[in-house]
Chains A and B, each alone.
Chain A
């Protein structure tokens, strides 16, 4: 009869397989990563996480299929509306649209195991408010403003978390999967204080005094490009609408201004635009506007690059950034980027390959040592199987709690495997020695040692949850999960196997 302890191990392994879901590797299609707000797709209740299998009768197996099918459909069309028949895993959608679907897509992940930035590439930033301690509600505001900025900017696949460290410092951890924009640092760290001033008088500030920002259309976009130093420079322009109140304030101030003596078409003072206290632009005020309530203002700016393409790209990014700040408003404090990592997906791939090699080498070496020592295939395989079961259960739990496996987490799993083998050796050696007392008693003694080792590991790893802004949390977490899986599941099953081998 097989003991319930073995059944618990088997159930745990089955559950781990269910959590990891490796059969996803056989699934074809593309997964929807994000859907633009207020787009036709969003209004038709297409949501992220759905898997697209077919579009207008064309089978979609991967990213490349999707791009090809969409470009086939939309390249030949004129101005007419197109009927898209999108078949997903949830249901079928028929949408009428005149532009390409405003969704981002990706290949279906092979398993439910989430790989962190160290393995799959992306960017990670840790930001900290300068010289202020934020309350929990202020931190929540910061999180929401930052997510709003990314949203407006058009970046998807982002997680933003607030983190408190051992000494009570607050940080915001931002993780972006995949490619990252060049000016990420500015986007996340700018306070975003936008102010329009005439002389020393403040006319309007970003967020509260701006009713609308025109982001696209005929009046918003790149105006012209020209040679500049050794490269190119382009300029952009977009209109904003002030609130009635701010417009009145402006009228009030301009009514007191004289007409410029050198430049009789304009007023004597200019409208200065500041971003985070730095002068960005000075606009002449036409004499017709003296004392008039006008809500429309045109904002201008520029961008430079080595060639025209580069310059256009830089200009578009600058415009987008400025619009983002104007829409989302400013923060009441300065932010500092204290850590910024951008990680290439290519190096992560080399790592994944090496990890498989490592598992192989450790498997061979440990088997060899154990076989030399015990001269028994059964005992050796029991140890190895238990060791890999533990790693597997740990991965399953990581998948279940959607933990991003980063480099420290992997190191924790490897370290956990090491302690697992140690415990098993204690069980074997206790059980084969000292024939005067019962096997049950001997295994009980082994568990005293194992429990002692278990508690010291927990004690050693616990402080890592908070130290260093939690950047090494993964190491502590996977180690603790793996020793917990050991003490609760695999040790008992292993002891049972050893008991059976004795009989």
Chain B
């Protein structure tokens, strides 16, 4: 009995505070979204595109050297190559447990034969099947990839919207979910751009995944607030929040270690996990500030108490 009493007391408290500020709270993510959109606009004017593309989307070569058993002067290699290929991207991968240098990743728009020859002449080591990965993507194919993945992203978004409309069959709550999904894509995109991360084709797939990943908390909220009408509205919202925040936290816990641990994976795939994690953080504010605000407003207007 006492715990029930406690809960009721708790929700009365949160109700007062929540009722006062929920409209204001809605604005926080919206302002952040506007900021992100403005940044993306600025980014576009600087780079003629909304993202920085890695070679899988712009064409070129990635060579991953397995440095574990090779005697290479890494700094020397980097400076030599930088002179020859100014557009080169040079990264070191360390083993998460031992901290030992595992591999280096060299990306350039040069052809694979050319880049391979330069590395061989600089290090004096012949690259073969065992000490290196060589990945080449032609410029036309990468353009195709990029265009099609963007089309796929749009199709996925439209299909998701149809599912949401079908699920709730009401305009405002459905739009609120779709809007949250939109913000969940835009925010991590701006963050990725801000940190200068080059997006790979797998990274774009992560944005598709984000569409599917982020809307489950919105569905949870809308269902509990609108469809199931036991208890007060604020209680229902708060209950949804408690469930949803746990869901998002466990999802972040599942994907964030993957980004840090799975270093042996082609580097371009690790960003799937980073993007999902940033998107899930964004989803927390988009769902529990904006979407919640819209839903509460809608419920009050339609007398769903």
Chain A residues with CB under 8 Å of chain B are 118, 121, 126, 128, 165-167, 169, 179-180, 336-355, 357-358, 361-362, 365-366, 369-370, 373, 407-408, 410-411, 414-415, 417-419, 421-423, 425-426, 429, 433-434, 436-437, 445, 448-449, 452-453, 455-464, 466-469, 471-472, 475-476, 479
Say yes or no for B101: interface residue by CB 8 A criterion. no
A349-B264, A361-B257 as given contacts; A419 in contact with B230, CB under 8 Å: no
Q: How far is the CA of A351 from the CA of B133 in the complex (A)?
A: 14
Q: How far is the CA of A382 from the CA of B265 in the complex (A)?
A: 30
Considering the complex, give the chain B residue whose CB is closest to the CB of A452.
Answer: B219
Name the B residues within 8 Å of A165 (CB-CB): 144, 148
Give the residue among A126, A452, A457, A458 with the most B Cβ atoms within 10 A. A452
A453 and B219 form a contact (CB under 8 A): yes
A369: which of B112, B216, B246 is its contact (CB, 8 Å)? B246
B257 and A463 form a contact (CB under 8 A): no
Stretch from B35-43, B188-196, B247-255, B285-293 that touches the partner: B247-255
Q: Which B residues, 192 to 220, have Cβ-Cβ distances below 8 Å to chain A?
A: 201-202, 205, 208-209, 211-213, 215-216, 219-220
Q: How many residues of B contact A (CB 8 A)?
A: 77
B129: which of A342, A353, A419 is its contact (CB, 8 Å)? A342
A369 and B213 form a contact (CB under 8 A): no
> What are 27 A-B pairs at a CB distance below 8 A?
A169-B144, A338-B138, A339-B137, A345-B129, A345-B130, A350-B263, A354-B262, A358-B257, A358-B262, A361-B257, A366-B250, A369-B250, A370-B250, A419-B216, A422-B216, A422-B251, A426-B216, A433-B239, A436-B230, A448-B227, A455-B163, A459-B162, A459-B211, A462-B155, A467-B152, A468-B201, A469-B145
In the assembled complex, the CB of B287 is this many whole angstroms from the nearest CB of chain A, namely 13
Mostly helix, strand, loop or mixed at chain B's interface? Answer: helix
B216 and A452 form a contact (CB under 8 A): yes
Contact string, B289-302, partner A, CB cutoff 8 A, digits 1/0? 00000000000000
Name the B residues within 8 Å of A346 (CB-CB): 66, 68, 130-131
Report the tally of A-B residue pairs with Cβ distances under 8 A: 257
Name the B residues within 8 Å of A445 (CB-CB): 223, 227-228
Say yes or no for B30: interface residue by CB 8 A criterion. no
A336: which of B138, B167, B243 is its contact (CB, 8 Å)? B138
B208 and A461 form a contact (CB under 8 A): yes
In the A-B complex, list the 10 residue pairs whose CB atoms are closest, starting with the nearest. A351-B264, A459-B159, A457-B212, A350-B264, A463-B152, A460-B212, A453-B216, A467-B152, A338-B141, A418-B254
